[in-house]
Amino acid sequence: MSLLNNIGSTELIVLALIVLVLFGGKKLPELARGVGDSIKEFRKAAKETA
């Protein structure tokens, strides 16, 4: 997880721009919802196994 700790604001902006170009503005909310649901399910599964 040390890689995630080293990401700065510039890298996040560049990453957001790349995602916006790849997926377009119309697909972005749907993509974000899918990522959020996946994280939620992962955390739920992690709690159940712990």
Q: What is the pLDDT of residue 26?
A: 84
Other C-beta atoms lying within 10 Å of the C-beta of residue 10: 8
Please name the amino acid found at residue 25: G
Query: How far apart, in whole angstroms, are the C-alpha atoms of residue 50 and residue 24?
Result: 38
- Kindly report the pTM of this predicted structure: 0.54
Contacts of 20 (CB under 8 A, 6+ apart): 28
Query: How far apart, in whole angstroms, are the C-alpha atoms of residue 35 and residue 40?
Result: 9
Per-residue model confidence as pLDDT tens digits over 1-50: 566 667 788 888 898 888 888 888 888 888 889 989 999 999 999 888 87
Q: What is the pLDDT of residue 50?
A: 73
